Structure 1
Amino acid sequence: MPERPSHPHPRIMAVWLIIAGAIGWWAAFSLTLERFHLLADPDAGASCDFSLLVQCSANLTSWQGSVFGFPNPILGLTGWVAPIVVGAAILAGARFARWFWWLFWLGMLFAFGFVIWLISQSIFVLGTLCPWCMVTWVVTIPTFYVVTLHLLRSGVAPVGPRVRRVAADLMGWVPLLAVLSYAVVAVIAQVRLDVLDNLF
């Protein structure tokens, strides 16, 4: 039988996974449509191009926008299905084995690391802020925090009782942790790109 950690039905987390997955998927879908539009007419701008600073085209047409040989939004179209399915399964009463949680966390770790890299490329290399990309950043960061803390609090990760208690307490602080993360990105973007003066 699969090992069953504590917190077998983290319903609030499940609801968040569904919401985040749906938002992330919609952002990926929108970016995919924009990429198709640019492929059909390279001279046309994307509908999310608002200024030289706030735009999607530069990101989509750069090599960073197809780092694995295909448009990055395709990763989102496939990857964001996983949180939706996991969240729905939890709400339906499913319990997952330890190995499943580790695989799910590894997927979220990849997404988190990839988003951090994309943020750095947008700010320091491309000098743009892609609206739909930022939507992806906004949902990826707290989702990674939530899944990580769940592994720690539930006993999936081999940690002691004190760490599990701290992780359980921190779960309620995820919104603040996310806002602080956004603030760090915003400050870096402001210092590097002078966003307030070049927004439009």
Structure 2
Amino acid sequence: MQNYLAASTYIDFNHPDVAAKAAALAEGATSPLEVARRCFEFVRDEIHHSVDYKRNPVTCKASDVLRHGTGYCYAKSHLLAALLRANGIPAGLCYQRLTVGADGAPYCLHGLNAVHLPQFGWYRIDARGNKPGVNARFSPPTEALAFAVRPPMERDLPEIWAEPLPVVVHALETYSTYDQVLANLPDVALPG
């Protein structure tokens, strides 16, 4: 579990701004479940999704997401993991492989989180931000993610990562505007 509680380059909850926001979100909470819900709702509702709001700059580190108030789903998941870890709640990163358009290729990764809750174990949450057609919620033990996968080519990737995938970091650190990232969304090949 230690890997899911650690600070790192991208999940930098040791940054003073992230630590202060994490403490503010936990203030007066009576359980880890309440803290997790508050952190989730803050990132989902108060941090703008870069494409939905057509916002720059492109962010990757949790502290940059918080400072600029914007990020792609991947960056928002870095901030959520940081806020949870700062409060002693294990959190990891998860990915789905989704179609970019209505159906079929091309595909891209979608970033979300898993949080370890004492009552439920690992529980996936998706703070990308709601909009028409997207209604992600914090309602354990039932998952309420932003997107349902449509097999066979869309997939929930089963891993819970302690750190972001290199392909995600590459996309967020290579391109300087939200539309450049949108034109170069990260993806992974599926086995078989």
TM-score by length of 1: 0.34
**Greater strand percent: which structure?**
2
**Greater helix percent: which structure?**
1
Decide which structure has the larger Cα Rg and report it.
1
